[in-house]
Structures are given as C-alpha cells and as structure tokens.
Amino acid sequence: MANTSQFCTFYLDKLLFGVELKGVQEVIRSLEMTTVPLAPRVVSGLINLRGQIVTAVNLRRRLELEAAPAGTPVMNVVVRSADGAVSLLVDEIGDVVEVEEASFEPPPETLRGSVRAVVVGVHKLNHQLMHVLDIGAACQIDVNAESSTAMRG
Amino acid sequence: MSDGDIVKDFLIESQENLDRLDRDLVGLEKNPKDKDSLAGVFRTIHTIKGTCGFLGFNKLEKVAHVGENLLTRLRDGQLTLNPEITTALLGMVDAIRQMLKEIESTGTDGVNDYPELRETLTQLQSGASATKAAAGTAVAQVSPEPTAVGKGTKPPKENKQAAVATPAAVEFGKGTASKRAESFLEQTDGSTASRAVPVNSQAKVPGKTEDQPAAQVPEAKPRDAAPETIRVGVNLLDKLMTQVGELVLARNQLLQIANTVGDTGLHAVSQRMNLIATELQEEVMKTRMQPIGNIWSQFPRTVRDVALGCSKEVGIEMEGEKTELDKTIIEAIKDPLTHLVRNSVDHGIELPAERVKAGKARAGRLILRAFHEGGQVNIEISDDGAGLNPERIRQKAVERGVIGAEQAGRMTEREIYNLIFLPGFSTAEKVTNVSGRGVGMDVVKTNVERIGGNVDVQSTRGQGTTVRVKIPLTLAIIPALVVTCCGERYAIPQVSLLELVRLEADEVSTGIELVHGAPVYRLRGQLLPLVYLSRELKLEADTKRGSESDGAVNIVVLQADERQFGLVVDQINDTEEIVVKPLRKQLKSVKTFAGSSIMGDGKVALILDVLGLAQRASVVTETRERAITEKVAESGNQEEKQTFLLFAGPGDSRMAIPLSTLARLEEFPVAQVEMSGSQWVTQYRGKILPLVRLNVVLEERRNKLRALQAPPTADSGPIQALVVNHEGRTFGLVVEKILDIVEDPANVKSAATRAAVLYSVVIGNRVTELLDIPAILRGTDLNAARTSHGHTAAEVRN
C-alpha cells in the first residue's frame, strides 16, 4: 500500500476521531486529577503521569461538543506536543487504523471557525468518517478567548 | 556522531572556552608574564581555529588565525601584552562569540569576516613577520612539546591515517573528517585534557597551516589535573530527578503498607529502601548544583570593560567561588548580579584622581563574596568607593515624589539607602551607557525577589557600599506550607509565610471585622486585610466563612511585596519539602499559581503564587508607596526592632525568645509524651524530640526538681512546646502558656538574675526575661549527669 499512515482513534460524543499514531505517547485509564481554579475552560486539570505533571485537555470542550453526561468514564490519550506531554480526555478508545492518503479529504467549508483549526480533515473509512485532529492545534489553547478567568477588575 | 552533533559540541565547548578566555586575558593584563595563562589562551584559540577548519567555518577560522599569530608572538616573548593588545584580543573573542551565535542560528559563520579587526590584530604584531611565517612558528612550537602518550582515547592509528591523508585534507571523506573533529573536540574538553592525543606527524610540516586546517594539532600538554568528569545533558538530570521523586513516592506507599502488614522481613527491606531512596534523592539534587564561580568568571571582563569605559581603575577580588547553587538559581541571578557589578564600578568607585585626593589607592576594589548561611546563599558585592549619599537620595526621592518631605525626615539611613531599589530612581549625576537611567536596581530587586531572595544595601560614606543578595539554595525543592481549601490542597512557599493565626469559632464573630465590606483582622493592633482563598479561586462552597466543621478560621499571614495580608483557608496541614514543577504553557496565564508539585499520595497540588494572588485580590496594586509610608511609620523613632515570642514561665513570669530562633510552635497531647530516663521526649516528624521543660530548667531547689522528673500526669492538658533549632539540634521547650508575638526594640536591658536567662528586658512595658537558648541546651546536656548526682545527694540527706 502506498502512502499509508496509522491513526490512533477514539470517540467523543459518538463521533470518531483520530490522531497520528506517531504523536501518541500512551493511552491510559482515568487518573486522579487536580483541577486548576481560574484556568482556561478547556483545561480539565493536572495529572501525575509517573512523576511527570501533565496538563489534561478536555477535548469535548476544545471541540465545542456537549459536555459528557456525568459519570462517563474518561480515557487519557497522552500526546507529545511541542511543550511536552499533554493528555487529551476522550470518551472511549477505538482501534489503530491504517489509512491511505487517497481517502483523505479536507473539512467542508461549512465547518465552524475555531474547530476548523483542530480538525484538519476527514478520512473516509468504510462505515464512517474519521476526523483527523492536529495534535499541536488541539493542545494549543487560546488563552484570551477562552479563559474563564474573565478579566476581573 | 553526526555532523550536527559535532557542530553542537563545538559550540558548547567553544562557549565555555571563550568564557575562560575573557578571564585569562584580563588576568594576563595584570600579570603579562603568566606563561600558563598565555599558553591556555593560545591553546583555546588554536583549538577553535583547528576545529572550525574541519567544519568549514572559514571566516571564523580566519579571525582565529590572526589572533593566534599575535598570541604566538606574545607567547614567545617577542611582544608584551599591553592594554591595546588586550582590547584587540577581547574584540576577537567577541567576534568569535558573534560568529558562534550565527552558526548556532543559521548553521554558517555569517557574512562578516571582520576585516578591520583582522587588520588591527595583524598590525599589532608590529609587522615583524608575515602571517604565514608566524603560523609556521606556531606549528613549530607545537611539535617539540613532550607528547605524553595518554591512556589512548583514540587509537594512534586514526591520527596516522589522517596524517597520511594530509595533502588531500580538503577532500576528506565525511566520516574521516568527523572522526578527526571528534578527537579534537574531546581534547578541547578540560575533563579529558589529561588524555593526551599522540602527536601528529603533520605538526612537523611547517608552513602549511593556512590552507590545510587538518594540519593543526592542538598541544598535547595536559592542562591542570582535571577531575574525572563527564558531560551529561541537563534534560537527563531533570528526568532522573523526576524518577527519583517517583521512587520516593513509591517508597512512602511501601512504608505505609509495611507498617500495616507487620511482617518484619518486609519492614526491614522497606526501611532500607527508605534510606537508599533518601540518599539517592540527595545525590541527584547535588548533580544540579553548580559553583557560583561559573557566572562570576565573566565579571573580571565586565569590570574591565566598564572601568575602561568610564576611565576608572578597578580590581576585582572573589571569595567563595565554590559556593554551590542550583542551576536554575544560577541562571536567574546572573543578570541581577551583572547589573550590580556594573553599577558598583560605574557609580560606586570614584575616578582615580578623586580617590587619590581622598587618600585611597588609585585603583578601586570590588569584592565579591559568596557563602552559605542558614540554608541560604549570601552574595555580597562590595566596593571601596564613595558610598551612598543619604542626603542626595533623600533629596532625589522627595523631588521625584517617591516619598513626602516629612516622611523623608523620619527615615533611617538604612531605609534611605534601600530607596534606590524603587522604580525610576537613580542618583547618577550623568547618564552613562552603563547605568543611571533609573532602570535596573528595581529590576534587580524584582528578579531577586522572584526567586524568593532579597536585596539589602549598606553603605558608609567615603568608605564604600555593600549590596547583599540573599537567595535560597534551590528552587527545585522548597519548603512549603500545605493548606486545604474546598477539598483541594495548595502549597504556599515558606518564604512568603509570616505566621499562622487560628480563630476559634467563638472568636470569629468578634475577631473579623469589616471595613466597608472588606474583611480585616486586628493582628497586634494593625488591620490585616483578609483574603478568602475559596473566593479568590472561585471554588465551590464559598458561602461559609470557615468551612471547617468547628467553625474556626485559619488565617495564613503572608507577605507580598512589602504588604501583609491574611489568607483564609479551610485547613492548615503541615510544612513539607516539595519538588517544584513548572506549569505548562496552557496554564501560564493563571497568575495565581507558581507551579505544581506531586504530594506524598501521588496527587498533584498547585503551588500558590503569593504575589499573583495578592494582585488578584487587589492587596498589592500600586501600593509600594503605601508600603514605604508604613515602614517609615513603623520605624519612626528607633533603628531596629526585634520580634519576640512571649510566653508565661513558671510562677506567672513573662519570658521571651527572639522569634528568629523558633522553628515552630507545637501542641502535644500528654499521651504522646514518653520518657527516656528522666527526660521527656516525644516522637516528632519521624525523630525523637527531647522536651525540655522550662520549670525544670529554672528550678533551683533539688528536692522539688526530683518531683518534677516524673512523667506527666495523664489528666493534664496538652503541653505547649516551642520547637527550637540550635546549631543543628532540635528540641522542644515546654512552656506554660504562649502569650503573643510582639515587635519591640527591647532597648531597656538589665543583667540576668538567674541561669538560663540572657538578660531581662522591658517588652511592652513589662519586664520580660529573655531566655538563653545555648545555656539551656548546655544545661540539658549536663542535666543527665547532674540530676543523677543530685538525686543521690538528696537520698543521702533523707
């Protein structure tokens, strides 16, 4: 197969997402999390990953999806970003899939603005579409726009 | 090893070598006959030149080459070093540094090949010899050096190969070239200097240096006996730190399990593991320590340049270069220190003529001292210059509206001196390019305070100024107070912590008052603004004031930028040494936190940024002015106030110890007091804490003393102990009742009337006895012997 790449897939709100496998450090079950008061909304908190303190990003919020119903188990997809490891919180882990370049398509023009930076396109799999996430963009947090710190006088 | 790696190593090593060059050159200026330094300088330039020839940095090579020629003549005694030559050589060092920077960012040595500099350097050789001839000399000089055959790092074979290939050096295959470069690089490293590289036959072929860089062979003479060291990446050390931290956590869990299981074998193993882990942690911490000399090494150069720039003569002296600090701190204080040094030369030390007039030596002295004291590192920068002029500072401060005229009149000299650290303050008559722009000293102060240190200035008119910087040993592990608020733990760096106040439920309604809605607490008569952590952090359950079940309120009194405020938290846990981990960029915007740390149970806790929190709560805005006003008001009529802890001694006497001698206040239930002989002891933080009872120490009647040696009665209330550290020993001083903490000049003194008392003093209008801690300790040491003796005596009498 020419020009194939591997993706680590997961689900958020029943949608299938994928990040490039080579950018994924590990996948782990939920770890005890410390919330960070006043932090941007997308940051769920900090976790201790074998002595390394890792920021956990709530991917649902990052992608402007509905909040998960209470009690939904959380999985950590730990990815390597330019600024060290970051954990992306997802609902459920899928398979590792191998896709051909040919099945890729850029996102439709109708995709909304801020999500567009994160979802770089889709791979057309047999039964469904896999949203391809840009790891760097997913870990990037626009502090000014999303900070719940909300400038206090 | 790839090409890129070679270049990287070359850059790192060249940087280090250049720093040494600066130092050596300035040293040489004072002592031009110092052959060793000269040879060192020569070798460094020679090595840089040789290596960059291999790597194809021709412009860099050219510059190094003319410099080397000049150095050759100096080394051979054909020329003597003078300031002009030194300046030119330092210029060359700067040029090389610039080109190295270029290489680092672009991968090439840039477009500038410094024709003027090369011209100057060539001319300074006084035109006696052509470049090539000089180069020839250089090589010829190398060859007769005794070539100690070292432990054979590189098999001689390789060098031979290179030698054979010389005529075709330019066409070297990449592999060979890099191997050659490698052997060079290894040699430039001071640590491997003792391993001499076998001499190269080429060295005996003179006159080919110019176009055949491969012919350059560094001298094989070993430098000073180097300790056995290897270069390790900082990343690797940081990772090791992390892993050791994890190991410590795992150990803690293991210890807990071992204690519950009760298996002696497991217990023994876990104890051993405990020791190993602790030691390992300490050792790994040490790997991050660097001597302060690393940053001082560039100061001779700085001083020279600044002094030349303002036509002064300044000599620099250093003491305690080996004092070690964590590398993060070293990096953080580099700039502030540089500024202070420049400032001393520029402002502190007078012009030679003025100095002579004042009866001082022409050349000023700048002394750098570093030493450890009380878990902190002190760095002093002293000059023997004119000293600060308090009148002028006072005048300037009033002129600029920093303080009021009346206020200024009341300030002590020392406070006046410290005004120079305020933003926008500069007393320099004329603005130089070095300092005097009114920025700087405040930045120095801010930067030092950011790493938990402080700056203080002392000065004697006509005799000089000393700036003292106190900084913690490390930022990686800091002592912190752990508090709980709304179920989450937060760590507060101990450096910001002043004291803890607990208001019992019945005191809350009267203790906390409101100033137009803003809660305050009267702390020894002063209003202390209160900040509720839960509200500032917008945590849940912020409706209740003290969400602790008993309704008590815990106030952590903190210091932020000269202002004090009380932070109300739910619970105060304990002090702990925590490992600080920085926050990632996603959270950099949250100014209330300085970092994070992993707690004993493996959970992450956030470290509060006290200044950030104070700013958020608007305790600190632009209140510097107010802070000064208060400071002035506080110190209205005396110089130094001391803070004392007051407590009740036997028989309703008032006693005190300076707060600075106190580590903590503790309350132990009687059940926890155990007996060791006739000594009360208790288990405290994993150690046995001897409890020294004040009534025993002060009791003079033997027979009563005996009665006092009994264990505590079970029905008596909890005992109050002052935990005191003295010369590495910790003990608990059991007192009747803790009264208060007071600040007082304690001026009225009179001699002690009994043993263990230093002197009597009037504190807050009452006669108070100040305890003599060392005497008490001596007393207890002897106590065992003396009591058994007294014991028998008493029995005989019976």
pLDDT tens digits for range B44-98: 887 787 777 777 787 888 888 888 888 888 777 777 777 788 888 888 888 888 8
Whole-number pLDDT of residue A2? 61
* Structural domains counted in chain B: 5
Q: Does A66 touch chain B (CB under 8 A)?
A: no
| C-alpha to C-alpha distance for B26 and B652, rounded to whole angstroms | 67
B18 and B161, same domain (yes or no): yes
Pair B738, B772 in one domain? yes
Is residue B636, in this structure, part of any structural domain at all? no
B65 within 8 A of B130, measured Cβ to Cβ: no
Tell me, yes or no, if A143 comes closer than 8 A to chain B by beta carbon: yes
The pLDDT of residue B134 is above 50: no
Same structural domain, B465 and B561: no
B493 and B383 fall within a common domain: no
Q: Are residues B307 and B277 in the same domain?
A: no
Angle at B560 between CA B554 and CA B565, to 5 degrees: 35
pLDDT at residue B700, as a whole number: 59
pLDDT tens, residue by residue, B206-217: 444 344 444 344
Which chain A positions have a beta carbon within 8 Å of B585's beta carbon?
A: 83
Q: What residues make up the domain containing B648?
A: 642-797
Instruction: Spell out the domains of chain A, with CATH numbers in brackets.
Output: 4-146 (2.40.50.180)
Q: Select from B424, B451, B472 the last residue of a domain.
A: B472
Q: Average pLDDT, stretch B382-408? A: 82
Beta strand residue intervals within B449-552, DSSP E: 454-460, 464-472, 477-485, 488-493, 497-503, 512-515, 518-523, 526-532
Binning chain A into helix, strand and coil, the percentages to the nearest 5 are 15, 50, 35
- Alpha-carbon distance A103 to nearest alpha carbon in chain B (angstroms): 33
Q: Smallest CA–CA separation between B88 and chain A, in Å?
A: 43
**Do both B34 and B177 map to the same domain?**
yes
The domain that contains B739 carries what CATH number?
2.40.50.180
Asked if residue B635 is part of any domain, the answer here is no
Rounded to whole angstroms, the Cα distance separating B593 from A53 reads 14
Neighbour count for residue B32 (Cβ, 10 Å): 16
Burial profile B457-492: b = 16 or more Cβ within 10 angstroms, e = fewer: bbbeeeebbbbebbbbbbbbbbebbbbbbbebbbbb
B427 inside domain: yes
For residues B560-587, give the mean pLDDT. 84
Which of A33, A37, A141 shows the shortest C-beta gap to B586?
A141
Angle between helices B174-188 and B35-55 (to 10 degrees): 160
The SS3 call for residue B388 is coil
Inside any domain, residue B224: no
- Using the Cβ of A83 and the Cβ atoms of chain B, whether some distance falls under 8 Å is answered with yes
Question: B762-790 burial, b for 16+ CB within 10 Å, e for fewer?
Answer: ebbeeebbbbbbeebbebbeebeeebeee
**Distance from the B138 Cα atom to the nearest Cα atom in chain A, whole angstroms:** 48
| Residue B225 placed within a domain | no
Return the pLDDT at B792: 35
Instruction: Please name the residue of chain B whose CA is at the shortest distance from the CA of residue A142.
Output: B586
Of the three residues B437, B472, B507, the one that is the final residue of a domain is B472
Left (φ > 0), alpha (ψ -120 to 50) or beta: where does B380 sit? beta
Residue B647 has pLDDT above 60, yes or no: yes
Domain presence at residue B220: no
The enclosing domain of B16 has a CATH number of 1.20.120.160
**B616 vs A contacts (CB less than 8 Å):** 152
Mean pLDDT of chain B: 73
Which pLDDT score is estimated for B782? 39
Rounded average pLDDT over A51-75:
85
Residue B411 belongs to domain with CATH number:
3.30.565.10
Clarify whether residues B283 and B297 are in a common domain: no
* pLDDT (tens digit per residue) in B677-727: 777 888 877 778 888 887 777 765 555 656 566 666 666 677 888 888 776
Classify burial at A32, counting beta carbons within 10 Å of its beta carbon; exposed 0-12, middle 13-18, buried 19 or more.
exposed
CA distance B39 to chain A (A): 45
CA distance B242 to B255: 20
Residue B514 or B188, more confident: B514
Contact between B397 and B406 (Cβ < 8 Å): no
Instruction: Retrieve residue A31's tokens.
Output: 């770890």
- The CA R_g of chain A, rounded to the nearest whole Å, is 16
N- to C-terminal Cα distance for chain B? 89
Residue that is last in its domain, among B418, B452, B472: B472
- Bridge partners of A53, per DSSP, are A48
Task: Find residues 5-44 of chain A whose CB sits inside 8 Å of chain B.
Answer: 32-40, 42-43
DSSP-assigned beta bridge partners for residue B315: B365
Q: Is residue B346 part of a domain?
A: yes
| CB-count burial class (<10 Å; 0-12, 13-18, 19+) for B493 | buried
How far apart CA B486 and CA B539 sit, in angstroms, is: 7
Do B297 and B364 reside in the same domain of the chain? yes
Kindly state whether residues B790 and B652 are assigned to the same domain: yes
Task: List Cα–Cα distances, B344 to B11, B366, B388, B453, B548, in angstroms.
Answer: 32, 8, 11, 20, 53
B92 versus B196: which is more confidently predicted?
B92
Whether residues B696 and B787 share a domain: the answer is: yes
Facing B581 at nearest CB: one of A35, A39, A53: A53
Residues B611 and B674 in one domain: no
Q: What is the pLDDT of residues B509-520, one digit of tens each?
A: 888 888 888 889
Q: Is residue B634 part of a domain?
A: no
Within this chain, do residues B326 and B453 fall inside the same structural domain, yes or no?
A: yes
